[in-house]
Amino acid sequence: MQKFSKMTGISVVVANMIGTGVFTSLGFQLLGIQSYFALMMLWLIGGLTALCGALTYAELGANLPRSGGEYNFLGRLYHPCAGFISGWVSATVGFAAPVALAAMTFGAYLSAVFPGLSGTLSAVTLVALLTIVHCLYHSASSKVQQVFTVLKVLLILLFCLILFVWGNSPQAINLMPQAGDETLLFGGAFAVALIYVNYAYTGWNAVTYVTSELDNPQRNLPIVLFFGTGTVMVLYLLLNFTFLNSAPINILEGKLEIGLIAAEHALGGNAGKIMGGVLALLLISTVSAMTMAGPRVLQVIGEDFTLFNKLSRVNGDGIPATAIVFQCLLAIIFIVSATFESVLIFSSFVLGINTLFSVIGVFVLRYKKLNVKGAYRTFGYPVVPLIYLAVTLWTLAYVLISRPQEGLIGLAIIIAGGLIYAVTANKEQDSGR
């Protein structure tokens, strides 16, 4: 069976990460934070946290090399129930929700450029077309992913260059800390804003969902995770500096289409709309990457549980086409039935819990002595995973405090997964599997 290359793996990480959050969340952050220093620190801390998580996952994936991500890690390190709940979360929220959010953002940017175009229809069409592509062949899937990811990085750099060189009246930005900034960094507003930033960095773990299809995962997985996540952190810092440099805070505050607004202010209406169309193109690779990675979780669940056996079916090229179509349908349901902000908050909460227990798993891995000889071990252990855990716990606590409804919805999804496992496990025992 043909394997995904190291370059494709990096493309999956970069494409999964660069999507909805960085082009939408700055406006929400500005509602509580007006300091340029604090705003840039948000993206730096979020990036370093994601890098800590990626380095930890590299050890988990190198020592437990199977597709499925957290489903594989938690099931082997804790209990099959923990793995199932994680898989349930990934199947219902982990990819379908971000696919929906990225597609919704694509539709919003596209409809801003072409007012007569339905944003919802554009979002649904994009998801459906990419589902068809990724159901064909590995070669087609890999090529589409690499091309759109390279295009995404180049367009981001071009976007920043154009606004810096030809933008009108750039803002006077002081990135040095001001009086009161040190208090702001440890306050509730910063923690709430970090929720949005952490969502923007979501996706650094994406390649662990296709580990079995990655060429030489024990060697390549750490490289893919490190370089993919590091690249995105640099691009995010550059992008947010560009946004803040291009338009006043009061214009960006509370707005969703940050990139479009910054471009229109810096370049004028028509040029801004062109850049908005460019940003819409960037989101294609995001939807593509998640369409590629997410169904592999459904596939391994189907391999392990008879009730979900149909999801494990693959075509002649080894692609889980049934699982891809299933995820497509879930994403479309989110697109047509829920608001952008509600999906973002509750999915961030659920995914945060998922990765939290996975990172704790590196301590379990070493306690149980499951490390493979010669496989990668987390750089900076135990400080690196502890940093990730501290930041994640802090933000999860503030979700429950500031947005209890979304937090409770997230907990309900997790509990539902546990109940389904109990029923499924009993059926597996009765069938003698």
* Residue 323 belongs to domain with CATH number: 1.20.1740.10
Round to whole Å and give the CA distance between 189 and 63.
39
Round to whole Å and give the CA distance between 85 and 268.
49
Residue pair 35/181 in contact by the 8 Å Cβ criterion = yes
| 271 lies in some domain | yes
Question: If DSSP codes are grouped into helix, strand and coil, which group holds residue 175?
Answer: coil
Residue pair 95/210 in contact by the 8 Å Cβ criterion = no
Instruction: Return per-residue pLDDT of the chain as tens, 433 residues.
Output: 566 677 778 887 887 788 778 888 888 888 888 888 999 999 999 999 999 999 999 999 888 887 777 888 999 999 989 988 987 887 778 778 888 988 988 888 888 788 888 888 999 999 999 888 888 765 655 666 677 778 878 888 888 888 888 877 666 777 777 777 788 887 778 888 888 898 889 888 878 877 777 777 778 888 889 999 999 999 999 999 999 888 888 888 888 778 888 888 888 767 777 877 877 877 887 788 778 777 877 787 788 777 778 888 887 777 888 888 888 999 999 999 877 877 888 888 888 898 999 999 999 999 999 888 888 899 999 999 999 999 999 888 888 888 888 888 888 989 998 998 888 776 655 555 5
DSSP H or E run through 265: helix 258-267
| 375 lies in some domain | yes
| 391 lies in some domain | yes
User: 378: domain range?
Assistant: 6-427
Q: How many residues does the chain have?
A: 433
Round to whole Å and give the CA distance between 1 and 118.
40
Give the pLDDT of residue 17: 83
Give the pLDDT of residue 142: 63
Give the pLDDT of residue 427: 61
Q: Please state the domain count of the chain.
A: 1
Round to whole Å and give the CA distance between 77 and 57.
13
Give the pLDDT of residue 260: 83
| 433 lies in some domain | no
Give the pLDDT of residue 2: 61
| 432 lies in some domain | no
Q: Which of 352, 341, 31 is nearest to 190 (CA)?
A: 31
Q: Residue 424: is it exposed, middle or buried by C-beta count within 10 angstroms (0-12/13-18/19+)?
A: buried
The residues facing 4 across adjacent strands are: 214
Give the pLDDT of residue 430: 55
State both tokens at 414. 């997790």
What amino acid occupies position 77?
L
| 146 lies in some domain | yes
Q: Residue 116: is it exposed, middle or buried by C-beta count within 10 angstroms (0-12/13-18/19+)?
A: exposed
Round to whole Å and give the CA distance between 202 and 178.
30
Give the pLDDT of residue 138: 57
